[in-house]
Structure 1
Amino acid sequence: MLDFLADVGETVLSTLRDVTPIVVILVVFQVVVLRSRLPNIRGIATGSVMVLLGLALFLIGLEQALFPIGETMAQQLTEKAGAGAGALAGAVRWQDYWVVYLFAAAIGFATTVAEPSLIAVALKAKEVSGGAVNAWGLRIAVAVGVAIGVSLGCFRIVTGTPLPWYIVVAYVVVIIQTFLSSRTIIPLAYDSGGVTTSTVTVPVVAALGLGLAANVPGRSPLIDGFGLIAFASVFPIISVLGYAIVADGLERWRRRSDRQEVEP
């Protein structure tokens, strides 16, 4: 219990050091540059304390729950895959780790759908577009991209292939899709890659990558364990742009069919 309280105190102090510069910048800008008094000082102080405690508790939760769960699941799934014929022969066969890819896709999809930042962006996009952008459809499209990206990232860890190969090819696809997509969806698609790497997705995905690299023979957590976040960032852009291209194509086909039915 004493060790836990000591960890809490240390985390709170560390968070205070991180948050203080932000508060100082905001206060100085308000008072010196804008030359106006701070509105609702009591509310600002209360909110700052809540932010401090919230961040501290969140960081403690990561260390106590999310990171251990991700690493444990990766270890257990890797051991299950390692019991296959490939492990007995002394070689790592990517086919033996299919359950890892399936789990990575499932956890990537689930964490992204529940990502608060993505929910906020999707609702705002629906509001600004007047309902043209479906909030739930956007969340699903982004989640599918993350699921594919994280699963492919786990495949890269298992096979030990270089990370730049995947990222370069992925961004080439993004560039091609950009020229084929409507201008209205491109900024939203690009932002979708950023909002996925937030409070819920990053801890679980990072722990999964590190745990997988630590348990696959011949892989290094330092060299191979990182990089899943890059996959989780670029593939949502691909999925959203792909969804928009397909939707636009279907809409044009529907309009063409309607015109043909009207014409004698």
Structure 2
Amino acid sequence: MEVLARILTSFASTCVDVLPIVTVMFAFQLGVLKQGIPNWPKVVLGFVYVIIGLSLFLVGLEMALFPLGETMAKQLTAPDFIDTSGGVLADQLDWADYYWVYLFAAAIGFSTTIAEPALLAVAIKANQVSAGAISVTGLRISVAIGAAIGIALGCYRIVVGDPIHYYIIAAYVVVIIQTSRAPKMIIPLAYDSGGVTTSTVTVPLVAALGLGLASSVEGRSPLIDGFGLIAFACLFPIISVMTYAQISQWLSRRRKQEEQGDSQCASS
């Protein structure tokens, strides 16, 4: 009964949330464009599917992903897990003692980003538009590596308690420098890649990890220190995608130079 009540509550709130979207779309279609709704039974059925799917997804977040992420963060930061001898108090732990947290953050950042359907869709479209110049697998892996590094670094920030703006400002300086040097065709895609990492799979686990970690580390506030991991997950994929493009460009230029050198040697 409790689960059913949650589902019904989530269904009602989802209907309220989706209503403005439906209103705007139908108002423009009927009022501005003055066109009928093509295949309106399928459209209505699709909206029903969307509402049901979102409702079940939100219930799943509340029942599984958020509690699991917070539980794992607390278990990984427990002093009896970090110190096998059991003789170290929580306030005596050093940042290096939380290496399992950093490893878990990087692993969960990489795996959830690879599983993001939004990233897969962007990678496929980029591959199609670029006529195969941008690899689907290469783009997904580069974005996932950036998310893994960003989330691990964000967990380090929570552990040591540094202000978040130092990291964000430094990262944006790197982004600005890379933007002036990276291949022009990859820059918009790199900025979009940072946004698609924060979608349905990544956000719940990463947010739960940050809140659980801030709740477990001595002297940290879940409100002040627990949030901010999503910013790292958005920002560092921009750096990694432009780095991937720059490395690919350098390798391509070097390959051409080697081919030209071989051809000159053969001609001489």
Q: With the length of structure 1 as denominator, give the TM-score of the two structures.
A: 0.97
CA apart distance, 1:19: 0.3
| Whole-angstrom CA distance in 2 between matches of 1:82 and 1:206 | 26
Residues 165-184 of structure 1 correspond to what in structure 2 (within 5 A)? 165-184=166-185
Other-structure match for 2:162: 161
* Root-mean-square deviation over aligned CA pairs: 1.4
Other-structure match for 1:44: 43
1:70 aligns with 2:43: no
Other-structure match for 1:120: 121
What are the superposed Cα offsets for residues 11-43 of structure 1, whole Å, 9 maximum, x if unpaired?
111001000111011111111100111111111
SS of equivalent residue, structure 2 residue 185: coil
What are the superposed Cα offsets for residues 101-155 of structure 1, whole Å, 9 maximum, x if unpaired?
0000001000000110001111111111111100001000000000000000000
> Using a 3 Å threshold, how does the CA distance of structure 1 residues 18 and 158 change in structure 2: closer, same or farther?
same
| Whole-angstrom CA distance in 2 between matches of 1:90 and 1:48 | 51
Paired AA for residue 38 in structure 2: P
| Whole-angstrom CA distance in 2 between matches of 1:89 and 1:192 | 38
SS of equivalent residue, structure 1 residue 184: helix
Other-structure match for 2:198: 197
Residues 1-264 of structure 1 correspond to what in structure 2 (within 5 A)? 2-79=1-78, 80-81=81-82, 87-88=88-89, 90-263=91-264, 264=268
| Whole-angstrom CA distance in 1 between matches of 2:86 and 2:103 | 19
Name which of structure 1's ranges 129-138 and 254-263 shifts more when overlaid on structure 2. Answer: 254-263
> Using a 3 Å threshold, how does the CA distance of structure 1 residues 36 and 212 change in structure 2: closer, same or farther?
same
Name which of structure 1's ranges 79-88 and 171-180 shifts more when overlaid on structure 2. Answer: 79-88
**Identity value in percent:** 58
SS of equivalent residue, structure 2 residue 25: helix
| Whole-angstrom CA distance in 2 between matches of 1:221 and 1:94 | 18
| Whole-angstrom CA distance in 2 between matches of 1:218 and 1:175 | 34
In structure 2, the gaps of 5 or more residues are none
Aligned residue pairs, count: 263
> Using a 3 Å threshold, how does the CA distance of structure 1 residues 89 and 198 change in structure 2: closer, same or farther?
closer
| Whole-angstrom CA distance in 2 between matches of 1:89 and 1:104 | 20
Q: With the length of structure 2 as denominator, give the TM-score of the two structures.
A: 0.95
> Using a 3 Å threshold, how does the CA distance of structure 1 residues 234 and 131 change in structure 2: closer, same or farther?
same
What are the superposed Cα offsets for residues 51-99 of structure 1, whole Å, 9 maximum, x if unpaired?
1101000000100111111111101100122667894383341011001
In structure 1, the gaps of 5 or more residues are none
SS of equivalent residue, structure 2 residue 31: helix
> Using a 3 Å threshold, how does the CA distance of structure 1 residues 220 and 35 change in structure 2: closer, same or farther?
same
Paired AA for residue 53 in structure 1: I
CA apart distance, 1:161: 0.2
SS of equivalent residue, structure 2 residue 198: coil
Name which of structure 1's ranges 12-21 and 35-44 shifts more when overlaid on structure 2. Answer: 35-44
CA apart distance, 1:249: 0.9
